Structure 1
Amino acid sequence: MDFSHILTGIVFWLIISIFFLITFGSSSGKNDHKFSLAKKSPSNTTKENNLNDLNNNDNREEIINLQKQCQRLREELEAQSSLLKSDFRSETFEQLQPLLTNYPTARKMAKTKPDLPAKNLISLFTSLENLLENWGYETIGKPWEKVNYNPQIHQADSDDIEVGESVYIRFVGYRDGDNILYPAKVSLNLPPNLQS
């Protein structure tokens, strides 16, 4: 279980505790008076009032302490969230650094030399593949692979494609276990320049 989920649970519990203290803490003293069978003397009433004042003061102090704890936990949760975000960004940048460093130069080369073979640029994407592998993401299909259409994992480029019909994967999709992050885009035909 993630630390932020635990902190969120604690904050939620504290808020509910404060609510119950406010709602039922002060009313319990009132209910005790209803069920008292003995006739109260003025001195007993004064003592009870003093006790009620003490209980109310104790309740107020406890509520204030709980509110302070709640605020402290919120601040810790925000700090933890910020730290996790920073760590995630740093780790992701570290894994993508070769791609991010080489991409601007490769882009300039592609503009300067449009006849540059694309295979010279493929090695740039190794770091991206490694990142996806570290995250546990899997591709759905392979480019231009012939498969049977499944609307659960594929996105058709036209409405007339039937379930089970043979299609080609134009662009791969991605999944994280059973969760489909992005469906593979499929078509009945390959692009004209790729058909034999």
Structure 2
Amino acid sequence: MGIFSMILSLLSGVALFLFGMSLMGDGLKMVAGNKLEAFLYRMTNTPLKGVALGTGVTSVIQSSSATTVMVIGFVNSGMMKLKQAIGIIMGANIGTSITGWILCLSYIDGKNGIAKILSTATITAVVAIIGIILRMACKRSVHKNIGNIMLGFAILMTGMQTMSGAVSPLKDSPTFTNMLTMFSNPL
């Protein structure tokens, strides 16, 4: 992959990521408004509840990055305070460990494990299909906005996968590896 196409792919992934985050955030505001804000406050009013929520959400969607992005969207929109977001992000790190254990289950049966069904690519595809059906077929604005939330999440995840694919050739580049390993800790 040439450097120009790598940069172009990376920037298109960033564009999809930002658009998906915006679409999802706007849909959340339209659907939930004050109800979601009250729900998030109840679920994150103590740090332990926030950690539990972050762990659960990350375990289900299998992406601590997506959980963190959703939380950032909530903080940016004013639905959540930074103090509440910290617990969720800590829980997202725990949820990532649980996701790793779930992925290990895929090796039990060989190629046909639970990880194929619960992979982020499969979840993203299912969410995108449901989202577009809701957006195109439903008449009520609430259902259309739920479709927007789902499409925003799917676009966000696609953007993350695009960015990941764009920079994956760098792991085999000795120049890039040397550049990252040349820094040392002075302490």
Q: TM-score w.r.t. structure 2 length?
A: 0.22
- The structure with higher relative contact order (CA 8 Å, sep 6+) is 2
Q: Which of these two proteins has the greater Rg computed from alpha carbons?
A: 1
Q: TM-score w.r.t. structure 1 length?
A: 0.21
